[in-house]
Amino acid sequence: MCLHWIATCLAMMLLAGPAISADQQQKQQAAEDKAEVLEQKAAENSSPAPATKAEAITQSEVQAVDPAGAAPLDDAITCLARSIYWEAKGKNAADMEAVANVVMNRLGHEGFPDTVCGVVKQGSETKSCQFSWWCDGRDDSVQEEVPYALAKEIARKALNKQLPDRTHGALYFHDRTVKPNWAREYIKTTDIGLFRFYKPHDGSAK
């Protein structure tokens, strides 16, 4: 009887596996499709209000994207989440949200690309990356599941325009333990955790 019950359970699990996988794939595709629309609206600044219920990426949808943390960086969610993760993992949620703010502030701004991946990868062709993790030559795969899940949730809120801008419009930031020369050319907007944030005097990127 016991062996029969175990065999039945195993059979049910095997049958359910493909169904669960298909559901995850549908959620991932839905999240990526919604993110593309929200990214475009953010770049055009055509809708300052938070995404509608139909437009908004859900929590389950965003967590279905890049579950292993090793996907190519070719969609808005993965690019934003990976940037949040690598720039601020090990720090608190406020630091991670602030990194997301900077990416979203740059999106479509004069002097910056009009896609999240474009913003994150900007400068890589000249080895002058705006986000250092993208040009450091190291493996960009995720190493810690919990911080990455948080990074994806923050990315979801940022794309949905549900994330307040802690940085007050900042386009640049650096770790407060260093004093880069370029910082003198900008206006400091705030300090958050271990980061210091800036924006240009005239609003134009340099």
Q: pTM score, two decimals? A: 0.86
Phi, psi of 173 (to 5 degrees): -160, 165
Q: How far apart are CA 173 and CA 161, in angstroms?
A: 21
User: pLDDT tens-digit profile of 167-199?
Assistant: 999 999 999 999 999 999 999 999 999 999 999
22 CB-near residues (< 8 Å, 6+ apart): none
**Where do the domains of the chain lie?**
2-200
Specify the pLDDT at position 47. 66
Cα angle 145, 73, 115 (rounded to 5 degrees) comes to 120
Specify the pLDDT at position 196. 97
Side chain identity at residue 105, one-letter code: N
Token pair 């298909």 in the structure block, residue: 22
Residues 28 and 64 sit within 8 Å (Cβ to Cβ): yes
> Average pLDDT of each block of 10 consecutive residues along the chain (206 residues)?
46 50 92 97 84 97 95 96 92 94 94 94 75 77 92 98 96 93 95 95 67
Cα angle 192, 164, 186 (rounded to 5 degrees) comes to 50
User: pLDDT tens-digit profile of 72-84?
Assistant: 999 999 999 999 9
User: What's the half-sphere exposure (Cβ side, CA atoms, 13 Å) at 162?
Assistant: 14
Specify the pLDDT at position 89. 85
Specify the pLDDT at position 188. 97
Q: Give the 3-state secondary structure of 95-126.
A: HHHHHHHHHHHHCCCCCCCCCHHHHHHCCHHH
Segment 110-117 long-range contacts (CB within 8 Å, at least 24 positions apart): 110/203, 110/204, 110/205, 111/204, 111/205, 111/206, 112/171, 112/205, 114/40, 114/43, 115/39, 115/43, 115/76, 116/35, 116/39, 116/76, 116/79, 116/80, 116/159, 117/73, 117/74, 117/75, 117/76, 117/79
